[in-house]
Structure 1
């Protein structure tokens, strides 16, 4: 196939994908930009509530805290215990029968009294649902994540076809790749902005797309796990067989917390204890190793009846591929590169509306140009017939 014909096909594919998916991509990108510094915004807004004055009294233990909270009627799903005694404790609640979930709650670690809900929680929850599932029914189990996944695949297609379409005659010239032609007007300026800014953000969009597909398609997640991770049997440190618990023994988070602290000491920033569901007595404990609450964490499975540590999945034991999977969200939003990375990713996401606008303008100008060409050919044909 000749190069002009191939480029015509790629241009058609690029244009159709852009027109069909433009609205979804702009919505996903803008909401992603809003969430880029979510942790920092929340931390600043909540600083006055989550940082407490030291108290001579000991902190309440998880069971007492949960009992006090569940007296209000909402069952607790997890409790996050910070290592620092002057930081507030966070509880998250289970879903209600209507599939809604009450907002998380901060607790005073010495009295168990409520310190209020996280600031802007409802706002960011809505933005996150819009980003991942477009607020469509079913949330993560609905078809919204399939729509965003298809949009991500469409963006990947546009990135690759766009790179081929804009490949310059002098590919070694940095100026050609990165400098817009500001002296142009109309269609020429739109094309220059569309192509040059696309070059600036190409790598960022590739990273966003390839990581974002993890949350859209199970087959993609399975393939990435197969490629980058070892078998779960080899990634977890197994401990001694669990000590049989008395028939009357109940799940105790105090017992789990004591076992965890004995195992870890002070080598953690915060730990989330997730209550077991059904008849299972295994409590999952996620221990963050830094205050960032990022992918650098260890996971434990502890028997809530005996306090026996059943397994430990430690970050230090992970391979490079497994560490990449553990920090996929940090890669997706650029925080793995620190705040400069977050800023670059936020600006790149915020630039998506520009692609939508310039892309539509280019498409309309091409259609108008073709109509003018056809009209000119028709007029020329009529003149020849008359002649």
Structure 2
């Protein structure tokens, strides 16, 4: 009975592995390359991230946006990112499809002069799209999300079935059992070596892959994200409907035309609430019709960059629509806010990020060794004598 059960699990393990191993290898490699994106981008843009501090006052966001958009060929600015650090340049991000493919530019906060486009942003944006939805049509709303999600679910099945295949019928001693499970036999050659490498490294990395699976599905399936929010959040999910126009707003062009949101009004309301407590702040215009601007800020004492305060501010009236501060969140809400932080291993500090990077980079190892084991198993079974219960050259568990 045990032999039949392991044979069934081996079939499941092999079929799913053959179907998704290439996708998992690609997801692992791209994930490893994204692990230190922020540090790499910061290094690439170090010379334009700051300007010399001058006695002149810095310009307000609307003035900076107006100067940049007045340049022929420039597109519409969709977001403004600012730092409280003296001399830090302002980052303006164009709306999608604007400015001939440029996404962000750095601007001198004193005179609005464009210093340079953000280096490395396009490369990492493409790499992130490849990691999350394989560059398939539709982007984040297309079928690519589901494909990667199914592959990640398949990885979960591979981990469980792999552990069942490794489970010994009887363990002679704790010492020998641990040695067999956790130490690869590097003295072996050929197929037994590949099997040892495949199984032992997979056992070591299983906890890391489980964390990656549980957090990675957040970006693939809405039902998974909604379920996590329902389970962990202290309050029900609320969708803020942005008003088309504020009552009494200034009308331009026609009687029905809504007033455009003002970054200055949002900025003024934000400063009145936060003062000098913020380190970074991003103000993003609504994608469609509406005047409510999304503001995300990181406090100077924030434990990590994803520990953000989030505000909704009406860009026409300056009214604070909603405010969610990280320090006021429950434990469950803090976990939800830290999904990316957990997914990359950053919640364990720099050692955690390095370990998660190595685990992601090793994913192609299982693709290669898995294919080797599968095709060599078929060859050995085909060459074995009729009537033999176990083909010569196969290792226990196969």
Q: Give the structure-1-normalised TM-score.
A: 0.89
Partner residue, 1:178: 182
Aligned mate of 1:344, from 355, 366, 369: 355
After superposition, the Cα gap between the structure-2 partners of 1:357 and 1:225, relative to the gap in structure 1 and judged at 3 Å, is same
Partner residue, 2:15: 16
Give me the whole-angstrom Cα distance separating, in 1, the residues matched to 2:214 and 2:354. Answer: 19
Q: Deviations over 1:16-55 (max 9, x none)?
A: 1111111101011001111111111111121111022211
Q: Which runs of 4+ in 1 moved over 6 A?
A: 233-236
Contact 2:230/2:236 (8 A) holds in 1: no
Deviation at 1:176?
2.4
Deviation at 1:130?
0.9
SS at match of 1:269: strand
Give me the whole-angstrom Cα distance separating, in 1, the residues matched to 2:38 and 2:267. Answer: 26
SS at match of 1:198: helix
Aligned mate of 1:361, from 353, 363, 372: 372
Partner residue, 1:41: 40
- The alignment status of 1:317 with 2:318, answered yes or no, reads no
Give me the whole-angstrom Cα distance separating, in 1, the residues matched to 2:304 and 2:105. Answer: 17
SS at match of 2:278: coil
Give me the whole-angstrom Cα distance separating, in 1, the residues matched to 2:360 and 2:247. Answer: 53
Contact 1:156/1:206 (8 A) holds in 2: yes
- The alignment status of 1:145 with 2:156, answered yes or no, reads no
Contact 2:298/2:309 (8 A) holds in 1: yes
Give me the whole-angstrom Cα distance separating, in 1, the residues matched to 2:62 and 2:192. Answer: 67
Deviation at 1:161?
0.9
Contact 2:261/2:291 (8 A) holds in 1: yes
Q: Give the structure-2-normalised TM-score.
A: 0.87
Contact 2:229/2:237 (8 A) holds in 1: no
- Structure 2 stretches of 5 or more lacking a match? 241-245, 252-258, 389-398
Partner residue, 1:287: 297
Give me the whole-angstrom Cα distance separating, in 1, the residues matched to 2:60 and 2:199. Answer: 58
Q: How does 1:199-348 map to 2 (within 5 A)?
A: 199-232=203-236, 245-248=248-251, 251-290=261-300, 294-348=305-359
Give me the whole-angstrom Cα distance separating, in 1, the residues matched to 2:317 and 2:279. Answer: 25
Deviation at 1:232?
4.2
Contact 1:181/1:192 (8 A) holds in 2: yes
Contact 1:94/1:101 (8 A) holds in 2: no
SS at match of 1:195: helix
Contact 2:76/2:98 (8 A) holds in 1: no
Partner residue, 2:50: 51
Give me the whole-angstrom Cα distance separating, in 2, the residues matched to 1:327 and 1:172. Answer: 38
CA RMSD between the two structures:
2.4
After superposition, the Cα gap between the structure-2 partners of 1:277 and 1:10, relative to the gap in structure 1 and judged at 3 Å, is closer
- Structure 1 stretches of 5 or more lacking a match? 237-242, 378-387
